[in-house]
């Protein structure tokens, strides 16, 4: 059995600090074998930079997934081209864009090695009109499963219906479908009949005194006036949300999925 932590969307400086404090603690307390984190909002709440991704990796995260804000910081583009093996942009962007959307990574387990395949895909409902995550997902998963039965999908999508449908489409083909993007942890974690762990959204790692991580006064002004405003990450207390998976390494079937939501001051 292997044990994997998926950290929900890390938002801004407070999210990075929560990750830096809690991931090492969880690695030891939960005896984790691997850590994945969605890091598309680590830099000021929108996008990622080489410096902020380095902070996440130094905190004990093994692989970062990105989403629809992947191109917000232009300095990330050459970085993805250089270090694309562990920083994954959505796989259903058109062919030829920088970086990679999938990878197979070794997990040192006991005295042998287990591999985990990881990909991230963006939904299309209320989002950019990318290639279909369903058809691209089928192709990517087939390639990953040729190397390992353990496959984790970060499905970065807005609509609950699209996420649920994607979970059913992938049931029995992957170890887990883990929803991100909406920043609010859902209480629908389950093991689907084919052995795939599923949750609509793993939640957010970031400031609690805001609106899904953003400064609440700016967001409220936008709602009241409909005037454009520059969104910035909220400050103040933060928490880490995510899920812990237990997976049978020879078959790739999920054994369990458990939600976590921790306060760095009282973990």
C-beta separation of 165 from 157 below 8 A? no
How far, in Å, CA of 16 to CA of 52, rounded? 8
**Residues in a beta bridge with 36:** 6, 63
Residue that has been written with the tokens 């809690």 in this structure: 22
Query: Which helix H or strand E contains 144, and what residues bound it?
Result: helix 133-145
Please state, in angstroms and rounded to a whole number, the distance separating the CA atoms of residues 167 and 259: 17
Marked catalytic residue, from 69, 156, 181, 183: 69
Indicate if the alpha-carbon torsion angle 241, 182, 178, 61 is positive or negative.
Answer: negative
Rounded (10°) CA dihedral 95, 96, 99, 104: 40
69 is catalytic: yes
Per-residue DSSP letter, 85: T
Asked whether 64 and 103 are in contact (CB, 8 A), the reply is: no
Q: Which residues are catalytic?
A: 69
């Amino acid at each position: 059995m292997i044990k994997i932590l998926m950290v929900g969307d890390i938002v801004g400086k407070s999210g990075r600090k929560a990750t830096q404090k809690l991931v090492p603690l969880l690695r030891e307390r939960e005896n984790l074998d691997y850590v994945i984190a969605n890091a598309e909002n680590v830099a000021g709440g929108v996008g990622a930079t080489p410096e902020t991704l380095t902070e996440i990796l130094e905190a004990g995260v093994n692989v970062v997934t990105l989403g629809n804000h992947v191109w917000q910081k232009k300095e990330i583009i050459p970085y993805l081209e250089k270090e694309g093996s562990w920083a994954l942009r959505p796989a259903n962007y058109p062919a030829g864009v920088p970086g990679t959307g999938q990878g197979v990574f070794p997990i040192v387990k006991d005295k042998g090695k287990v591999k985990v395949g990881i990909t991230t895909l963006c939904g299309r409902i209320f989002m950019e009109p990318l290639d279909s995550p369903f058809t691209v997902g089928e192709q990517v998963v087939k390639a990953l499963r040729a190397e390992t039965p353990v496959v984790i999908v970060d499905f970065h999508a807005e609509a609950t219906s699209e996420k649920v449908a994607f979970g059913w489409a992938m049931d029995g083909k992957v170890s887990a479908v883990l929803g991100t993007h909406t920043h609010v942890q859902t209480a629908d974690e389950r093991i689907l009949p084919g052995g795939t762990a599923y949750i609509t959204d793993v939640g957010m790692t970031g400031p609690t005194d805001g609106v899904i991580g953003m400064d609440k006064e700016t967001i409220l002004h936008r709602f009241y006036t409909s005037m454009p405003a520059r969104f910035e990450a909220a400050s103040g207390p933060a928490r880490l949300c995510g899920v812990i998976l237990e997976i049978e390494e020879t078959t790739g079937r999920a054994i369990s999925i458990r939600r976590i939501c921790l306060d760095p001051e009282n973990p």
